[in-house]
Amino acid sequence: MYISVRKGIGTGPTELSAFDQALVDAGVANFNLLYLSSVLPPNSDVVVEKNNTQPIEGDWGDKLYVVMAQMRTMQRNQEAWAGIGWIQDPKTKKGLLVEHEGHSEAEVRADIENSLKGLQENRHMKFGPINMQVVGMKCEDLPVCALVVAVFESNEWINRQKEKSDKNVNILRRLTRKTHKS
């Protein structure tokens, strides 16, 4: 499974609009986000997207399965930091992800590291090295949001799948009628 890790930052007249701008920056704004718990399936390739230029498959409004950390603030001179960390078994590539938010980079990095160590201990397992993506910004005038998102996959809604299937059936019927008339 290919898992894309992206980060985004945003500002806006409200915390919600700053969050939306961060979603736009990360390239996930036009999806319905469905949050997952933090387990990486075997054979997962976790890839950090440097500039979020790789488009995510799917259409406007599709379901997008994610693990996400996001921090918002509107308090002047306060920082908003978010991060995702992960560990994987080098052989099977199964693993764990954690998401943390805070008001400093050091706080978020420490929380990610401590959580991943704890999750390994809880499972009595050893994984490879800790990886993480962290982003943050300072609120100067307008509200801000920092987020990191691990994108698993997108899916259409069932109604749209049915509409496509119905269209295909109608096309096949028309083709069949044309063939029988010839």
Rounded to an integer, what distance in angstroms lies between the CA atom of residue 73 and that of residue 103? 9
Q: Which fold has domain 2-157?
A: Pyruvoyl-Dependent Histidine Decarboxylase; Chain B (3.50.20)
Q: Which residues of 122-159 are buried (b: 16+ CB within 10 A; e: fewer)?
A: eeeeebeebbbbbbbbebeebbbbbbbbbbbbbeeeee
pLDDT of residue 55: 82
pLDDT of residue 173: 61
Residues of the chain with pLDDT under 50: none
The residue type of 151 is V
| Reported pTM | 0.84
pLDDT of residue 179: 58
pLDDT one-digit tens code per residue, 85-130: 999 999 999 999 999 999 999 999 999 999 999 999 999 999 999 9
Number of C-beta neighbours around residue 50 at 10 A: 9
Rounded to an integer, what distance in angstroms lies between the CA atom of residue 12 and that of residue 74? 10
Q: Where are the strands (E) in 49-158, listed by range?
A: 63-73, 79-88, 95-102, 131-138, 144-155
| DSSP strand pairing (2-11 vs 45-48) | parallel
